Amino acid sequence: MAFNNRNTLAAERGKAALQADCIIIGGGPAGAVLSLLLARQGVSVILFEAQKDFDRDFRGDSLHAVVMELMDDLRLTERLLEHKHSKLKTLTMVSAVGAARVADFSRLPTHHNYMTMVAQKDFLNFMVAEAKRYANFRVFMATSVQRLIEEEGEIRGVVFNGPDGPQEARCALTVGADGRSSRTRQMAGIDLVKFSQAVDVLWFRLPRYPHEPEGVLYRVGQGAVMGQADRSDVWQISYIIRKGTYQKLRAQGIEGLRRSVTTLVPELADRVGLLKDWSQASLLSVESGYVRRWYRPGLLLIGDAAHVMSPFGGVGISYAIQDAVAAANVLAGPLRSGRVGVGHLAAVQRRRELPTRLSQYYQAMIQDQLLATAANEGIPPKPTLLRRLLRLPGLRELPTRLLAFGLWPARLRIKNSIPPNIHR
């Protein structure tokens, strides 16, 4: 029967607690994908999402090849791509010395030789709808987790604020997948080791004309950096500013932002007037960091809750989803049997820690190159030894592969599943 916790954790006094094998906090890419993967394996899952829906603007929309191959494994690719999407083949830096190709996905050894851009709200709604086909899955929207239930040194569930006031939900494993500002991480007393970041990102959109370049462009010069992601009929723009300068920019009025954009990319002069006020832009405070241990007894952190990724390269979603895949591979069997130990949680971290840390290093390298070029009037600095090595024929495609797959891609091993709408 669904929601019959095999650990038979007793509810405390008062209203009987909800029970499940696994509680997932946060309905972002990691939480939504893990919910589906576990539900398909007969694990009872409760997903808590604090917001009333998934429609938050300027969230990451990029699905790299490793994610699309997972969709193939789940036989979901065709239906996912019924949503509005675009396929980007290249990532290019445009500076005073011309255009330099940073990544060329068309060379990848996969039929998903591109970066797929799908609105994150569409992706999340799609994945949660798939999970809802299984009777052992439940989702609670607009529901915030107030605290973790800890007994004898082990996390055994959560107290959440629902329509009827505070309630309990008990489980064998709680997973924190609630993003870069994870409350789960804070409630568990797990510290985030932060990297120093010199920039923030201002996101907005402007129309894109059919004849304009495709792919992702980083425009660098005049002391500034601006990313343009081709979303068919619009450019999704990331205007990169030095940390702490947002208020100064805003004090100049929206006209100051228009001038800055036009100075860097004159081709946009005919449409920057569509930026009428600051409500059309969204500020993202860029940070990177990691936790030294992703788990405590009864608790696991994944995605940005465990390792905060920079937006450079658009790999955050892919790495969060790969965490979910690795967690499902390791934990589905133990959750079904009711025997989830610290060793299982440590195995998830071992599988995913090195790839994420390497990606964070590579993101920092890209960021530093862009900022150094911007500060040098758009002229790239002399290449480092590492960049020279990456120009060698055998290593030339390595940066693209790191963006598309990561160092050690997480592949789905548990491909058999229970039929939808069947209680176990």
Q: Would you say residue 19 has pLDDT above 90?
A: yes
Q: What is the pTM of this model?
A: 0.90
| pLDDT reported for residue 94 | 86
Q: Is 158 helix (H, G, I), strand (E, B) or coil?
A: strand
| pLDDT reported for residue 3 | 39
8 A C-beta contact, residue 110 and residue 100 = no
| pLDDT reported for residue 355 | 93
Query: CA 158: distance to chain centroid?
Result: 24
Say how far apart CA 231 and CA 206 lie, in whole Å.
10
| pLDDT reported for residue 383 | 59
If one compares 407 and 79, the residue with the highest pLDDT of the two is 79
Q: Would you say residue 57 has pLDDT above 80?
A: no
Say how far apart CA 356 and CA 103 lie, in whole Å.
19
Output the DSSP codes for 37-87.
Answer: HHHHTT--EEEE-SSSSS--TT---EE-HHHHHHHHHTT-HHHHTTSSEEE
Say how far apart CA 217 and CA 268 lie, in whole Å.
13
| pLDDT reported for residue 58 | 56
How confident is residue 198, by pLDDT bands cut at 50, 70 and 90? confident
What average pLDDT does the chain have?
88
How confident is residue 380, by pLDDT bands cut at 50, 70 and 90? confident
How confident is residue 33, by pLDDT bands cut at 50, 70 and 90? very high
CB atoms within 10 A of CB 83: 13
What are the tens digits of pLDDT across the range 244-282? 888 988 999 999 999 999 999 999 999 999 999 999 999
| pLDDT reported for residue 394 | 54
Q: Which amino acid is at 9?
A: L
Q: Would you say residue 22 has pLDDT above 90?
A: yes
Which ranges in 265-409 belong to alpha helices (H)?
Answer: 316-337, 342-375, 385-389, 398-404
| pLDDT reported for residue 424 | 46
Q: Percentage of the chain surpassing pLDDT 90?
A: 61
How confident is residue 364, by pLDDT bands cut at 50, 70 and 90? confident
Q: Which residues pair with 295 in a beta bridge?
A: 300
Q: Which of 310, 414, 319 is nearest to 30 (CA)?
A: 319
Helix (H), strand (E) at residue 226:
strand 224-231
